[in-house]
Chains A and B, each alone.
Chain A
Amino acid sequence: MRIFLRIVALTGSLIALGACSTTNAAHDGDPLYSWNKSMHAFNKGADTVLIKPVAQGYRAVVPKPGRDGLRNVLDNLRSPIIFGNDVLQGKFDRAGTTLQRFVLNTTIGIFGLFDVAKRGGIEKHNEDMGQTLASWGVDSGPYLVLPLLGPSSLRDATGFVLDFGLEPLTYSRFKGRQALLIGRTGLAGLSLREENLEVIDDLRATSIDEYASIKSAYEQFRANEIADGEVQIDDLPDFDEFEDE
């Protein structure tokens, strides 16, 4: 019940955020532009002074096999969420793949430390409630930058909260459960930031408008994830769309 109330509260505040959006003709595809730009600046500051240095320190201290092992464990722990979303999307083949990976990696792979399923040709994939909502026809809604979590959309942020409903730890009862959940989320963030040190440096170095660059990359990347990597040929723009008559 507490979880449900939290979900309602967060979803409500996200909708409220949408309601107090500003309108600016220059950013007509981005109704939350003012909020998003502020959060982008906040996240960039936090990344510069804290997150990136910690990720660099983590890389300096922990050798690659250790970092890969942690990433594998964290990926394996996400399997119930991926499995649940596979099923909710009616993708039973992919649900079977997720289950196979979980069983193999948890047993032979020693609690997910080694991705033995991948070595056996069973590739991982990602699913989340944002993608499930998309597959049910829910529009992405406005682009939304979340504090510390970064780029998202109204739909994906709602999905992020709803995913806790598929997380087994949500329903367990033991002392330190919340600390474990928070710690795991923090570690996953650190692992992801470390994995993308070069990618983000590169994006910052080559972008001419960092905010627009991250927004564009996020929206295209998510569209590709929702389509399971299949090119959506009809969604591509015409190259002559704005040619003079």
Chain B
Amino acid sequence: MMRRSMIKRFVLAVIGGLLMANAALAATDDEDFVRIKANEALAILSNDALTHEQKTDCFRDFVEEISDVPRVARFVLGKYARGVDPVKLENFTTVFRQYATGVYESRLGSFGGETLMVTGSKDRKPGDSVVSTVINGGQLAEPLDVNWRIQTRKGKKQVLDVQVFGIWLALHQRNEITSVIANNNGDVDAATSILETRITNADFGQDDEEDEGK
């Protein structure tokens, strides 16, 4: 009886050890993924040989490669994603993609020369982790902490959310978009319409910069 109990403990310890080793490997994998991909992005942004249009195209392809925009679009709809009409969802996803890339593209000129260092990672559950980084240099006056939410699906790693200044961007967009939908009696089209208006007006704040260093 005692021997059986010891064997059971041994087997459990081995399984536990394997799981921990796997988690550690997954975290290291995710850290490598962020290190490589974020540095690719920084290289695009600081490449002076590229025109603004070329940078924009490269960056758009890059975002499509490392992220899962339809999944993020569904996430930002929050509870309104459940049972949403597929046509409305498709319309929203198309417009959300344009809006999100528009916001980032309007700021591409603000970057260049930054370097990124991975400082650690935490596993939330298998295939879901957060990688912590610090970005230095370039136009940054102070080091900037940036955390990356990485999920692995069907063997492919993707960035699903990014935290800057303590704010998770996709979560922030979800709070805004669900508020718009709530104010319009649960109509997903209302959010699509507001995003379309923003894109048409191309009002992403890029021309409102003030000279802080004055």
Contacts of B191 in A (CB 8 A): 208
Contacts of A198 in B (CB 8 A): 208-210, 212
Cβ distance B181 to chain A, nearest Cβ, rounded Å: 9
Q: Is B157 in contact with chain A by the CB < 8 A criterion? A: no
Cβ distance B156 to chain A, nearest Cβ, rounded Å: 14
Cβ distance B34 to chain A, nearest Cβ, rounded Å: 14
Residues A208 and B177 in contact, CB atoms below 8 Å apart: yes
* A-contact bits for B70-101, CB 8 A (1 contact / 0 none): 01001101111111000000000000000000
Q: Which residues of B approach A to under 8 Å, CB–CB?
A: 71, 74-75, 77-83, 103, 122-124, 128, 130, 132, 145, 147, 149, 151, 160, 163, 165-168, 171-172, 175-180, 182-183, 185, 191, 194-195, 198, 203-205, 208-210, 212-214
Beyond A64-B213, A242-B77, is A209–B180 a contact (Cβ under 8 Å)?
A: yes
Cβ distance B208 to chain A, nearest Cβ, rounded Å: 5
Beyond A64-B213, A221-B166, is A229–B79 a contact (Cβ under 8 Å)?
A: no
Which of A92-100, A151-159, A211-219 contacts the other chain? A211-219
Cβ distance A222 to chain B, nearest Cβ, rounded Å: 8
Q: Which residues of A approach B to under 8 Å, CB–CB?
A: 26-27, 56, 59-60, 63-64, 197-198, 201-202, 204-209, 211-213, 215-217, 220-221, 223-225, 229, 231, 233-234, 236-237, 239, 241-244
Contacts of A211 in B (CB 8 A): 179
Q: A198-B210, A216-B175, A242-B82 are in contact. List 19 more A-B contacts (CB 8 A).
A: A26-B182, A26-B185, A63-B214, A198-B208, A198-B209, A198-B212, A201-B210, A202-B208, A205-B208, A206-B205, A211-B179, A212-B180, A213-B176, A220-B172, A231-B132, A233-B124, A234-B124, A236-B130, A242-B79
